[in-house]
């Protein structure tokens, strides 16, 4: 999971603070030292770290944290707000031309995920009833055109191509005319990439830019490359006046440095985040939600949105209420499992839930279908009383459930343990949210 190391480090710093009734200045200084190290280890640009820490310190002093009722929470809140600011503050939306079509130029190094992201973006636009046209301008990478055509077919968007024998500028000119004639309201130009930035590439991109006068120039960068991604963004920005960045591969093991530093270093907002190879794994980037996620406060809003677009809205709202109130039972667990399967990989969903990344053993829940079926069998072997009140599950009941579901007692114990951990975290989270200062940290 992305940000895992950083999230774990920060959360352990904060759990120390939270546990204290009184926080001394030394405690805060120590916490800030640890936050600084955690950010540096996550490959956040050192200048960005320095500024970040000094801002947090300044605010922490200004707010008279020490005398507050919950000093630990006040500091977490400050860090949360500053982290959100660092990543752009508010969500930066896709531009819209006053007169259609809105032209979006995609740029980036080879392998960053440009072509895939173009397809994903078309899918997002189709979902909100737009009529995007994909334009194949990468005439150099073998099979890039074909790849875009396959993606276009997959999402149901037309792909404009003139093969690899016509210059990208000519292709763009013709594509824009085609879009006008066919009433496409968005034009997504997939340009060529190189392994490294070179002049010929930049020259070509500038020519396309000059002709198309794009409303958006989105640089696609691979979050896994850390500070390199930030450097690439800086170089492109100098030449092309980027309007935004798309961070890809956030589903991978990235330490998070790129996501946290790119806006601060380049001034370009992150507009989208891609979290998987699947065509529907592109999401608008919300700095506040990402910050909450990094700080282990979960990303309930993204989770709920995901739920709403995929599952029964009423059930989703019910799930949210139950999670907040920590009233989650095994019955809900089963009910949601069926729904959740429709939403995508379980581990990604768990990442969005508050505190989930801290629950030990939860990784085992990163289940394949076979394991899911096993979990389901265990829950189904419980009586309805047991499902509603897991505290009833003593040894002999567990033994019966194991035998009934064809699993070992260890399997049953493990599931119950995970479920308990999950409920406990939900409870902690909801009490944290309803502390004396009200709904802290939730936006
Ligand atoms: P391009 O050269 O920039 O056009 O890159 P591609 O679109 O061909 O992507 C390069 C590789 O990265 C492909 O194998 C994609 O499936 C993969 N990829 C793109 N975006 C993501 C992402 O968000 N997560 C993961 N895991 N892989 C991605």
Phi/psi class of residue 326: alpha, beta or left (left: φ > 0; alpha: ψ in -120 to 50)?
Answer: left
From residue 311, give the alpha-carbon distance in Å to each of 10, 136, 262, 287, 316: 33, 34, 34, 25, 7
Cβ atoms 190, 115 nearer than 8 A: yes
Q: What is the DSSP string of 247-314?
A: EE-TTS---SHHHHHHHHHH-PPEEEEE-SSSTT-EEE--HHHHHHHHTTS--HHHHHHHHHHHS-HH
Is the distance from the beta carbon of residue 269 to the nearest atom of ligand 1 less than 6 Å?
A: no
Cβ atoms 291, 42 nearer than 8 A: no
- Annotated binding-site residues for GTP read 108-115, 190-194, 248-251
Atom of ligand 1 nearest to the CA of 110: 2
Burial 395-419 (b: 16+ CB within 10 A, else e): eebbebbbeebebeeebbebbbebb
Please, which residues bridge with residue 270 across strands?
A: 245
Architecture of domain 102-294: 3-Layer(aba) Sandwich (3.40)
Per-residue confidence band for 314, with pLDDT thresholds at 50, 70 and 90:
low
Give the Å distance between the CA of 133 and the centre of ligand 1: 20
pLDDT of residue 356: 57
**ipTM greater than 0.95:** yes
Pocket test for ligand 1, best of 2, 116, 159 (most atoms within 8 A of CB): 116
194-242 confidence digits (pLDDT tens): 887 788 889 999 999 999 999 999 999 999 888 889 999 999 999 998 9
Is the distance from the beta carbon of residue 120 to the nearest atom of ligand 1 less than 6 Å?
A: no
Is the distance from the beta carbon of residue 110 to the nearest atom of ligand 1 less than 6 Å?
A: yes
Is the distance from the beta carbon of residue 273 to the nearest atom of ligand 1 less than 6 Å?
A: no
Give the Å distance between the CA of 262 and the centre of ligand 1: 19
pLDDT of residue 82: 93
Q: Whose CA is nearest to atom 5 of ligand 1?
A: 113
Give the Å distance between the CA of 369 and the centre of ligand 1: 25
pLDDT of residue 154: 96
Per-residue confidence band for 114, with pLDDT thresholds at 50, 70 and 90:
very high
Pocket test for ligand 1, best of 277, 278, 280, 285 (most atoms within 8 A of CB): 277
Atom of ligand 1 nearest to the CA of 118: 7
Atom of ligand 1 nearest to the CA of 190: 4
Q: How do the domains of the chain map onto residue ranges?
A: 4-86, 102-294, 300-439
37-94 confidence digits (pLDDT tens): 989 988 899 999 999 999 998 887 765 665 665 667 677 778 888 999 999 999 999 9
What is the Cα Rg of the chain in Å?
A: 24
Q: Answer whether 102-294 and 300-439 agree in fold.
A: no
Give the Å distance between the CA of 61 and the centre of ligand 1: 44
Atom of ligand 1 nearest to the CA of 281: 23
From residue 324, give the alpha-carbon distance in Å to each of 34, 62, 180, 426, 431: 30, 32, 49, 7, 9
Q: Whose CA is nearest to atom 12 of ligand 1?
A: 113
- Classify domain 4-86 at the CATH topology level: 1.20.120
pTM: 0.71
Per-residue confidence band for 24, with pLDDT thresholds at 50, 70 and 90:
confident
Q: What is the CATH number of domain 300-439?
A: 1.10.260.30
251-270 confidence digits (pLDDT tens): 887 778 888 999 999 999 99
SS3 of 361, please?
A: coil
């Amino acid at each position: 999971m992305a940000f895992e190391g950083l999230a774990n480090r920060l959360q352990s710093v904060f759990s120390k603070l939270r546990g204290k009734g009184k926080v001394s200045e030394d405690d805060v200084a120590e916490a800030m030292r640890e936050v600084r190290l955690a950010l540096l280890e996550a490959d956040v640009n050192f200048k960005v770290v320095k500024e970040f820490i000094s801002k947090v310190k300044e605010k922490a002093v200004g707010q008279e944290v020490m005398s507050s009722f919950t000093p630990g929470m006040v500091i977490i809140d400050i860090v949360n707000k500053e982290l959100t600011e660092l990543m752009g503050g508010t969500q930066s939306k896709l531009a819209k031309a006053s007169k259609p079509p809105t032209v979006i130029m995609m740029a980036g190094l080879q392998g960053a995920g440009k072509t895939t992201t173009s397809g994903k973006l078309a899918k997002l636009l189709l979902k909100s009833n737009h009529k995007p046209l994909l334009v194949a301008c990468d005439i150099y990478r073998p099979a890039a055109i074909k790849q875009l055509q396959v993606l276009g077919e997959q999402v149901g968007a037309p792909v404009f191509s003139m093969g690899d024998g016509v210059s990208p500028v000519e292709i763009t000119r013709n594509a824009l005319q085609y879009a006008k004639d066919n009433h496409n309201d968005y034009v997504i130009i997939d340009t060529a990439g190189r392994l490294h930035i070179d002049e010929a590439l930049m020259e070509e991109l500038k020519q396309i830019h000059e002709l198309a006068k794009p409303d958006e120039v989105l640089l696609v960068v691979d979050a896994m490359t850390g500070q390199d991604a930030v450097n690439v963004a800086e170089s492109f920005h100098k030449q092309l006046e980027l309007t935004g960045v798309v961070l890809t591969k956030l589903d991978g093991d990235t330490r998070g440095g790129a996501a946290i530093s790119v806006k601060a270093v380049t001034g370009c907002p992150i507009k989208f985040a891609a979290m998987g190879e699947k065509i529907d794994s592109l999401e608008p980037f919300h700095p506040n939600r990402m910050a909450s996620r990094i700080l282990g406060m979960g990303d309930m809003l993204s989770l709920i949105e995901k739920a709403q677009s995929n599952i029964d809205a009423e059930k989703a709202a019910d799930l949210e209420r139950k999670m907040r109130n920590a009233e989650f039972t095994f019955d809900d667990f089963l009910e949601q499992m069926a729904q959740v399967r429709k939403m995508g990989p379980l581990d990604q969903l768990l990442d969005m839930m508050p505190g989930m990344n801290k629950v030990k053993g939860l990784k085992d829940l990163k289940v394949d279908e076979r394991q899911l079926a096993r979990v389901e069998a265990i829950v189904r072997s419980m009586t309805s009383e047991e499902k509603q009140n897991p505290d009833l599950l003593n040894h002999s009941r567990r033994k019966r459930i194991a035998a009934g579901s064809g699993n070992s007692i260890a399997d049953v114990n493990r599931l119950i343990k995970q479920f308990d951990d999950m409920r406990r975290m939900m409870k902690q989270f909801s009490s944290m949210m309803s502390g004396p200062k009200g709904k802290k940290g939730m936006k």
